[in-house]
């Protein structure tokens, strides 16, 4: 009987420690996933700008790895929710991880779309367009990195900086759309290349949206308040 009690007493801290190491693993796996998502955007734009199909292939490979990682991370999160009654802060952390996970997987999908534009571009005559998609991609990859950093450091201020960057990316996307439409009107020979640039810009803009979603999830987790759709501002 005494023996049984001793076992029971031992089990409680062990379970908590298993739970804690599960949370750490979740954070580590999501960090890897985020690095991979950022890398896939950088590779996608490199494939497009340098017209290199081997780099596009790397993007397709990364996306398959990301798909597997998403499933594993989701299962890990569900296992943690099932393992014990999580406290409020852990609960918000785990559900934020599940959402961030879904967003990162979709970033890899956007990178695939960009890599597909790269393959289409290879078959077209080279043309110098008055757009800087490389700069836009750097900004967007920076948003993913900051969103991740804000998650690792539980830093809501950094997450809020990501929300501001999103406005700049929206403007870049609109400017590219307007300048490419103007180019297509004046030079019908440029239609395919200009359309490709519009599609790449829209995909980058969507990546920025995913980074924004992640930043919002981080703020929700850290501050326990929901800032989505300006709710925090409304509440002030």
Q: For residue 16, give every residue at least 6 positions away whose Cβ sits within 8 Å of its Cβ, in sequence order, or none.
A: 84
Footprint of a second copy on 148-177 (CB under 8 A)? 177
Short-list 167, 165, 177, CA closest to 202: 177
Q: How far apart are CA 154 and CA 149, in angstroms?
A: 8
78 binds a second copy (CB under 8 A): yes
Q: For residue 29, give every residue at least 6 positions away whose Cβ sits within 8 Å of its Cβ, in sequence order, or none.
A: 69, 72, 73, 76
Angle at 11 between CA 6 and CA 12, to 5 degrees: 110
- Min. distance of Cβ 113 from a second copy in angstroms? 10
Looking at the Cβ atoms of 42 and 63, the one nearer to a second copy is 63
122 binds a second copy (CB under 8 A): no
Angle at 204 between CA 210 and CA 52, to 5 degrees: 130
Burial annotation 93-110 (CB, 10 A radius, 16+ → b, else e)? bbbbbbbbbbbbbbbbbb
129 binds a second copy (CB under 8 A): no
Helix axes 191-223, 156-186, angle to 10 degrees: 170
231 binds a second copy (CB under 8 A): yes
Q: How far apart are CA 20 and CA 228, in angstroms?
A: 28
- Min. distance of Cβ 2 from a second copy in angstroms? 27
Looking at the Cβ atoms of 4 and 234, the one nearer to a second copy is 234
* Among the listed residues 124, 154, 164, 181, the single contact to a second copy using CB under 8 A: 181
Cβ pair 114, 59 in contact under 8 A: yes
* Among the listed residues 75, 124, 135, 153, the single contact to a second copy using CB under 8 A: 75
- Min. distance of Cβ 206 from a second copy in angstroms? 8
* Among the listed residues 49, 81, 129, 152, the single contact to a second copy using CB under 8 A: 81
- Min. distance of Cβ 67 from a second copy in angstroms? 4
- Min. distance of Cβ 223 from a second copy in angstroms? 14
Residues of this chain that bind a second copy (CB under 8 A): 64, 67-68, 70-71, 74-75, 77-78, 81-82, 84-86, 88, 91-92, 95, 98-99, 102, 177, 181, 184-186, 188-189, 191-192, 195, 198-199, 202, 213, 226, 228-229, 231
């Amino acid at each position: 009987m005494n023996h049984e009690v001793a076992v029971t007493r031992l089990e409680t801290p062990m379970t908590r420690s298993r739970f804690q190491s599960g949370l750490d693993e979740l954070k580590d796996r999501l960090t890897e996933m985020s690095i991979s998502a950022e890398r896939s955007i950088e590779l996608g734009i490199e494939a497009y700008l340098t017209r290199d199909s081997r780099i596009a292939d790397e993007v397709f490979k990364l996306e398959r790895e990301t798909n597997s990682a998403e499933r594993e991370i989701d299962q890990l999160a569900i296992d943690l929710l099932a393992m014990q009654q999580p406290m409020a802060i852990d609960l918000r952390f785990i559900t934020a991880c599940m959402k961030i996970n879904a967003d990162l997987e979709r970033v890899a999908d956007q990178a695939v779309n960009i890599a597909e534009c790269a393959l289409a571009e290879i078959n077209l005559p080279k043309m110098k367009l008055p757009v800087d998609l490389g700069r836009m991609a750097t900004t967007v990859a920076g948003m993913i990195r900051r969103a991740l950093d804000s998650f690792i450091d539980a830093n809501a201020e950094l997450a809020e900086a990501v929300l501001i960057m999103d406005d700049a990316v929206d403007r870049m996307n609109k400017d590219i759309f307007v300048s490419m439409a103007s180019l297509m009107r004046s030079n019908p020979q440029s239609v395919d290349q200009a359309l490709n640039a519009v599609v790449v810009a829209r995909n980058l803009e969507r990546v920025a949206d995913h980074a924004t979603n992640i930043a919002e999830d981080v703020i929700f987790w850290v501050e326990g308040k929901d800032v989505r759709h300006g709710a925090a501002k409304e509440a002030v």
